[in-house]
Structure 1
């Protein structure tokens, strides 16, 4: 894949990470999502969306300049919290809004908000805005 396309794909991945953090950090977003897609487990969706867009074991995706050092630290911290929450909660998670009562889900929400706050300092890189023109 040409470098500029690789960079664009990684920028879109970064944007999807921000979206996943927005969902995980917001009870209202989770409730709204649940009302729009009956039959889908939103708690599982929160976990699966993150798993789709974040791979902490691959440093080639988490590097500067796409991510600042503080963003890398924040994303890895959130991933650790998410993994810990998955270990502490049952495989069959309660649905929205019952999930909001679990202390582990409250910890996850807080960690997501912390990571989102760091990521939003620079925000998303939508529409290839960070791609340099090769011409």
Structure 2
């Protein structure tokens, strides 16, 4: 199963690297990823400034419903615990730092530009992976219609 997952991830990585507007997160030499998911970085400047939300909606409209804008990659300082810690720690409302938008620009940028796919792992999943690639290619090629 791990070999098939790695093969499908390799195939997806290779194919998505050719889709304008999407960058594949590189895997450094010597690293063997576990492939929980495949993250892609959306580059709106390559698609006329098309917002990621619109790009994502178009992918979903193509039936590629497993393209995800993962909440799990949200920067921690944006979570309610860090924005309103007094709700969890009511006796200490003034003993926390209030994080403002822009406090962690690299993490915020990564979150705002990430699209994720599952790392499929069965041989028959390769056909499904191909459909997702075709959907991304179609949306990328027709991005001007979405502006």
Q: Which has the higher contact order (CA 8 A, sep 6+)?
A: 1
**TM over 0.5, yes or no?**
no
**Which structure shows the bigger proportion of residues in helix conformation?**
1
Output the TM-score relative to the length of structure 1. Answer: 0.31
**Which structure shows the bigger proportion of residues in strand conformation?**
2
Output the TM-score relative to the length of structure 2. Answer: 0.29
Over alpha carbons, which structure has the higher Rg?
2
